[in-house]
Amino acid sequence: MTLRQWFQKGEAVLACGPHPERAHRDAELLLLHAARLERAALLVRWEEGLDEPGAARYSAHLERRLAGEPMQYILGETEFYGLPFRVTPDVLIPRPETEHTVEKVLDFAARFPNPRIVDIGTGSGAIAVALAHKLPQAVFTAIDISAPALAVAAENAKRNGVAIRFLEGDLLAPVAGERFDLVVSNPPYVPESDRETISVEVRDHEPGVALFAGCDGMDVYRRLIPSAFAALAPGGFVAMEIGFGQAEAIGGMLAGSGFCEIEFIPDLQGIPRVACGQKPPQR
């Protein structure tokens, strides 16, 4: 079979899958990956054959996609904040809305000459790596409870040429006694009750430990917010991604833990997406 015929077959297979509207593009991307070709080369070589290893890879890719596995996991990479990231089923796939968190932390970081920044639940390292790429003068620590996730994050730091200290543990426990200017996190915030309503791609393929956080989705915030307050130097800031409908409750948690200057940054749909607060400066 020629590359054109393989593509046509792939498009037909994926048209029967969970995302038929993306069958054309997905079939092409998977073929490029399996054949290890750039798109320009694929178009030139349409009438050439696909070698046996490439055919096996493409067939496996199609089977995985047909089962609803995210394209990012099949391809093994994605882009976040203009940077390339390796992703595996051990880590959450970085979302565009998380870039709002990065932008807000960059605003806060400008207030410190050499900010000490810790990223809690780093996953793929997307937030920490994106920030480190923009803030070479900062000192970064990234923490995750998952050793496999940390291995992916460390690979992404190396790939993007940034220096980050990676530690395994629960929330801020690995840095007990240390002080930071910024605490940033994209923690799990999906309520368990929403499990059956989210897409198959997310529910069945992304790590549940990075998604779900109790019946209301706020179990992690209840522990993270007071521990972030304790870990911050006076005048330091916390910035956390939050879920739909959680702003009021999280605002109360921030105030109850002693934070001031509490604010919420909306995403492009106008939904509060980033919760921020400052530890009062010393007077």
Domain ranges for the chain:
3-68, 80-278
The three-class DSSP label of residue 4 is helix
Residues 101 and 120: their CA atoms lie apart, in Å, by 13
Between helix 23-35 and helix 3-14 the angle, nearest 10°, is 140
pTM, to two decimals = 0.91
Write down the architecture of domain 80-278 according to CATH: 3-Layer(aba) Sandwich (3.40)
pLDDT in tens, the chain (283 residues): 889 899 999 999 999 888 889 999 999 999 999 999 888 888 888 888 889 999 999 999 999 999 889 999 999 999 999 999 999 999 999 999 999 999 999 999 999 999 999 999 999 999 999 999 999 999 999 999 999 999 999 999 999 999 999 999 999 999 999 999 999 999 988 878 777 777 777 777 878 888 788 878 889 999 999 999 999 999 999 999 998 889 999 999 999 999 999 999 999 889 999 999 999 997 6
Tell me the C-alpha to C-alpha distance, in Å, between residue 141 and each of 25, 33, 117, 134, 230: 38, 33, 6, 15, 16
